Structure 1
Amino acid sequence: MSQLSDLLFETRVATESVVDFLAGGRLRLGVTGLSRSGKTVFITALVHHLTRAIAARPEKGGETKTQLPVFRALAEGRITSAHLDPQPDYSVPRFAYEEHLAALTGLDRHWPQSTRRISELRVTLEYRSKGWSLRKGFGQGPTRLDIDIVDYPGEWLLDLPLLGKSYAQWSHETLDAASASARAMIASEWRGLTARSDVKARYDEETAQKLAQTFTQYLRLARSERFALSSLPPGRFLMPGDLEGSPALTFAPLPMSDGEELPYRSLGREMERRYEAYKSQVVRPFFRDHFARLDRQIVLVDALAALNSGPEAVRDLETALTGVLTAFRTGRANLFSTIFRPKIDRILFAATKADHLHHTSHDRLEAILRHLTARAIERAEGVGASIDVIALAAVRATREAMVRHEGEKLSAIVGTPVAGERIGHEIFDGVAEGAIFPGELPADPRDVFKGEALAVSDEEADFRFLKFRPPAAMLGADQKPLPLPHIRLDRAMEFLFGDRLS
């Protein structure tokens, strides 16, 4: 039955790919990242830059300026139109672009709500090709590219490896990880309850719910800013959505062996059933309906949070990123795969919040992220996928300045901290600006596993998690907000879909 289901799925995907190809250029871009990595801000900024840059472009003969000089098709003036179109999947929630843009650019500017479910948005680019177009050769009209942006929580991505693991194997790995020094303290209540549970005892719902609740509490604590751990499947336990309270999300690991015989109505047997239901009813549909159809992918990474939390968080982030890249179906794109079976042929890892560091540290941030993904990148490149790593800020909330401190001129970043943020004894009101001296990242990326990642003094340690408000938006001649400043958003665009606009 499973093989027949897989065959039907592959046939459906191939049919959809052929229809998409003949209908015109289409690219499905996956945007993901673990919690607080900036997925919503990235998509909003990308779409705003594309649609606004064309609308605000001066008439022919006027001076052409762009905030996206590395994005060649735009810099060369070959993109003639950029606008939002209805998304192709009517059953998937629409990405709330207008709402998120209003949050970033309104009078009470603030960061939008983070991604908690899958959503889609289509932005269509019409452009002048530099050469012969395959689709023009087929007589399909003007050259255009429909970019279908698929936004989904990175925590869901970490569930894909579960498809190849039994309940006993997953339980062993999860319990073993929870005994490590970085997790033992926050997992103590759940581990204690698990140790007192008998896998062969008769199942009762109260015990199952208590185990699931304490297990979920452990996952939430591990994800908090204090610990910043990343490898925390099952992902839907942290973002349950409509599944909250369902049996498919009411299970927890128990110590047992593969092939162990358990009584029919035992606690262990029921937990195993619910784990298998989670894989078949939650994980597999996500893979088949959304993830397996992607062409390009960007993975946003809040590396600074892990660096601030120390080596254990960095190691855990490395494990999570390896799992993420292992989940992708990668390979070199060719005409056959484009028409019949899309594969992810380009993946971009982006270390976000680069505006929290001085530009002299951006190369070091990229080097650290490249080091954390080295094993996974080697595997993906071996099958023909192109991978890049950048330091990025889709919206730049700070500016750089030289500030005199104790008689010495130091490089600082300046921005408006969120109300309630503090530097030392000073508490900000959300209006006044503040200058901080960002820590210096290590020159050797291997040092992030050895001790404190950021070289800051005890006095400066409070500055690490300072949150800044988005910058105030400037208005264009039409009194609508212009795109906000960024760091390397154009480089991300060029890598992810610039080649499709040649």
Structure 2
Amino acid sequence: MNRLLNIADEARLTFANLADTASDLAVPNLRLGVTGLARAGKTVFITALVHNLIHGGRLPVFNAAAGGRLTRAFLQPQPDDAVPRFDYEAHVAALLEDRLWPRSTRQVSELRLTIEYESASYLARKLGPGKLNVDLIDYPGEWLLDLPLLKRSYAEFSAEALKRARAANRSEIAAPFLAELSGIDPDGPEIETTAQTLSETFKAYLAACRQDSHALSMLPPGRFLMPGDLDGSPALTFAPLDIPFDAAPARTGTFRAMMERRYEAYKTHVIRPFFRDHFARLDRQIVLVDVLHALNAGPDALTDLQVALGEVMTSFRPGRKSWLASIVNRRIDRILFAATKADHLHREDHDRLQAILRKLVATGMEHAQFKGAEVDVLALAAVRATREATVKHGGQELPAILGTPLPGEGVDGERYDGKSEIAMFPGDLPEDPESVFQTVESISPNSVEVDSSLQFLRFRPPRLDRTAEGMKLSLPHIRLDRAIEFLIGDRLR
């Protein structure tokens, strides 16, 4: 299949774009997609962005706020009746009252933030105050990895999935699934119980790949890891089979025909609606990446992450902003890749973290820029959970971070109660980003590489400071203002 959408879907998308354009005539609208693979911090990013804009956060690089042109920001009713609302209030309560991180993204959700501002242009100010609706679209990055499947046959999917499963870094994890697969005759009769068993072992293999010790990212089909209300449906009950890449069509009634039919149903009922109704309507996109998680798992995890991010970039429809063209064929004109949890490192290492992420997405960046989109790379912490300090260790002064580990977190055999603040030396990232793809040794806390404790130690959200009047300040961050400026700043001029 050469097209991501069929003619009927393209027509529906065009009508949706026409409706969006009509509403823009009253108040301009920008649809911002927020995604990332597991544990990247999507929910935290949206919550922190909205909280800082509504409560007048410290945003010195966000020009509209720094220049005093931001009049106010407030939430509006949910714009799409069929899409769940992003539960902003519950996430703020978790961060501020319980000092716990919100639950991870499990489905598509949406939130409308309206920003009122004064234009930087004298002539525009004479026309009155400006207003911009920002629709924040939150969706799991694992679903993004499904989009390339729209262009792949079942035989192609099977060949690629089994090649990954049999690779040196996965074969042991995939052993139960591969053992189950070895007893399957693709040309044998279709048996439901066999399909269920094979599919469950395949899903268990994908889930094991995602565990902290492996931290692998290339795990399509993405909905297998978060099935939601489709759990147990035939569209989610299939697995790859050992068949040639260019195999002839399956005979009716065979096990292979059954698997192929369900794979096509997955594309029809799961992937295509997500692409048509959500992804293809985005104007801007931020992709959050937990680089530190992959670093701690080693070169295999980093290489796998690099492949996954490359697949992500092939799914985007980048291009220059054009009012007329966007009515028929909407394009993403700005993409930001952000390495999250920068507060786990001292600021001296933030440039190195950005350099590693830049290498991970280099090929995709070139493609998007060639198509006319603006692309940037950034190290950030949407909510800063630590502070910086200096500690003495072995007669040396080392840059340290101070924070309160979550209850039960531990390092070097010590467990924390969630109440005590600790100081730790986070280690130094290498100057050469190439080196992190080559070393296979575990990194000790005294190394000049990455501290292996970062893989396990998670800090509680910070206790917010209060003003003299007793009011809580906005959530602290690292470079959230730079991200906001890149993503929406040009629309507030």
Same fold (TM over 0.5): yes
Give yes or no for the alignment of 1:391 onto 2:356: no
Cα deviation for residue 79 of structure 1 reads 1.1
Match of 2:408 in 1: 420
Cα deviation for residue 475 of structure 1 reads 3.6
Which piece of structure 1 moves more, 415-424 or 490-499? 415-424
- Spell out, residue by residue over 1:165-202, the C-alpha distance to the aligned partner (whole angstroms, 9 max, x if none): 00000000000011111111100000111111001111
Match of 2:7 in 1: 4
Match of 1:484 in 2: 475
Secondary structure of the residue aligned to 2:293 is: helix
**Matched ranges for 1:73-112 at <5 A:** 73-106=64-97, 108-112=98-102
**1:415 touches 1:469 (CA, 8 Å); kept in 2?**
yes
Cα deviation for residue 476 of structure 1 reads 4.7
Counterpart-to-counterpart distance in 1, 2:189 and 2:377: 51
Give yes or no for the alignment of 1:283 onto 2:271: yes
Counterpart-to-counterpart distance in 2, 1:417 and 1:220: 26
Match of 1:22 in 2: 25
Of 491, 496, 499, the residue aligned with 2:490 is 499
Cα deviation for residue 438 of structure 1 reads 1.0
Cα deviation for residue 325 of structure 1 reads 1.0
Counterpart-to-counterpart distance in 1, 2:369 and 2:469: 46
- Spell out, residue by residue over 1:122-145, the C-alpha distance to the aligned partner (whole angstroms, 9 max, x if none): 0000111122788x99x8x74200
Of 178, 182, 189, the residue aligned with 2:176 is 189
- Distance change >3 Å, CA 457–CA 417, structure 1 → 2: closer
Counterpart-to-counterpart distance in 2, 1:348 and 1:73: 19
Of 211, 220, 223, the residue aligned with 2:198 is 211
Q: What amino acid maps onto 1:168 in structure 2? A: A
**1:441 touches 1:454 (CA, 8 Å); kept in 2?**
no
- Distance change >3 Å, CA 133–CA 207, structure 1 → 2: farther
Of 460, 469, 473, the residue aligned with 2:464 is 473
**Structure 2 unaligned spans of 5+:** none
**Matched ranges for 1:395-414 at <5 A:** 395-414=383-402
Match of 1:56 in 2: none
Cα deviation for residue 274 of structure 1 reads 0.3
- Spell out, residue by residue over 1:464-489, the C-alpha distance to the aligned partner (whole angstroms, 9 max, x if none): 42111011123457755321211000
- Distance change >3 Å, CA 322–CA 230, structure 1 → 2: same
Which piece of structure 1 moves more, 69-78 or 340-349? 340-349
Which piece of structure 1 moves more, 438-447 or 229-238? 438-447
Q: What amino acid maps onto 1:111 in structure 2? A: W
**2:14 touches 2:327 (CA, 8 Å); kept in 1?**
no
Cα deviation for residue 453 of structure 1 reads 8.2
Which piece of structure 1 moves more, 254-263 or 275-284? 254-263
Match of 1:227 in 2: 214
Counterpart-to-counterpart distance in 1, 2:123 and 2:150: 40
Cα deviation for residue 458 of structure 1 reads 7.4
- Distance change >3 Å, CA 89–CA 447, structure 1 → 2: same
**Matched ranges for 1:137-152 at <5 A:** 142-152=129-139
**Matched ranges for 1:447-458 at <5 A:** 447-452=435-440, 456-457=444-445
Secondary structure of the residue aligned to 2:461 is: coil
- Distance change >3 Å, CA 128–CA 462, structure 1 → 2: closer
Q: What amino acid maps onto 1:33 in structure 2? A: G
Cα deviation for residue 462 of structure 1 reads 3.7
TM-score, structure 1 normalization:
0.93
Counterpart-to-counterpart distance in 2, 1:97 and 1:484: 14
Counterpart-to-counterpart distance in 2, 1:266 and 1:480: 67
Counterpart-to-counterpart distance in 1, 2:259 and 2:84: 31
Match of 1:174 in 2: 161
Q: What amino acid maps onto 1:94 in structure 2? A: R
**2:155 touches 2:243 (CA, 8 Å); kept in 1?**
yes
**2:117 touches 2:492 (CA, 8 Å); kept in 1?**
yes
Secondary structure of the residue aligned to 1:347 is: strand
**Structure 1 unaligned spans of 5+:** 54-65
**2:296 touches 2:452 (CA, 8 Å); kept in 1?**
no
Counterpart-to-counterpart distance in 2, 1:43 and 1:350: 13
Structure 1 runs (4+) greater than 6 angstroms displaced: none
Q: What amino acid maps onto 1:165 in structure 2? A: R
Counterpart-to-counterpart distance in 2, 1:186 and 1:354: 30
Alignment: residue pair count: 486
Give yes or no for the alignment of 1:293 onto 2:281: yes
Counterpart-to-counterpart distance in 2, 1:484 and 1:80: 19
Which piece of structure 1 moves more, 324-333 or 456-465? 456-465
- Distance change >3 Å, CA 475–CA 341, structure 1 → 2: farther
CA RMSD of aligned residues (A): 2.0
- Distance change >3 Å, CA 478–CA 16, structure 1 → 2: farther
**2:212 touches 2:455 (CA, 8 Å); kept in 1?**
no
- Spell out, residue by residue over 1:222-280, the C-alpha distance to the aligned partner (whole angstroms, 9 max, x if none): 01111000011000000111111111100000012334243311111000000000001
Counterpart-to-counterpart distance in 2, 1:264 and 1:77: 68
Match of 1:59 in 2: none
Counterpart-to-counterpart distance in 2, 1:339 and 1:6: 15
Counterpart-to-counterpart distance in 1, 2:241 and 2:122: 60
Match of 2:51 in 1: 48
**Matched ranges for 1:257-336 at <5 A:** 257=244, 258-336=246-324
Of 415, 420, 428, the residue aligned with 1:432 is 420
Q: What amino acid maps onto 1:417 in structure 2? A: P
**1:308 touches 1:453 (CA, 8 Å); kept in 2?**
no
**1:440 touches 1:456 (CA, 8 Å); kept in 2?**
no
Give yes or no for the alignment of 1:378 onto 2:378: no
Counterpart-to-counterpart distance in 2, 1:472 and 1:223: 31
Q: What amino acid maps onto 2:96 in structure 1? A: T
- Distance change >3 Å, CA 98–CA 441, structure 1 → 2: same
Counterpart-to-counterpart distance in 1, 2:289 and 2:484: 17
Secondary structure of the residue aligned to 1:197 is: coil
Secondary structure of the residue aligned to 1:231 is: coil
Secondary structure of the residue aligned to 1:104 is: helix
Cα deviation for residue 434 of structure 1 reads 1.3
Give yes or no for the alignment of 1:38 onto 2:28: no
**2:13 touches 2:277 (CA, 8 Å); kept in 1?**
no
Match of 2:115 in 1: 125
Match of 1:63 in 2: none
- Spell out, residue by residue over 1:424-462, the C-alpha distance to the aligned partner (whole angstroms, 9 max, x if none): 232111011111111211111111110148853479634
Counterpart-to-counterpart distance in 1, 2:415 and 2:180: 41
- Distance change >3 Å, CA 103–CA 434, structure 1 → 2: same
Using the aligned pairs only, state the percent identity.
55
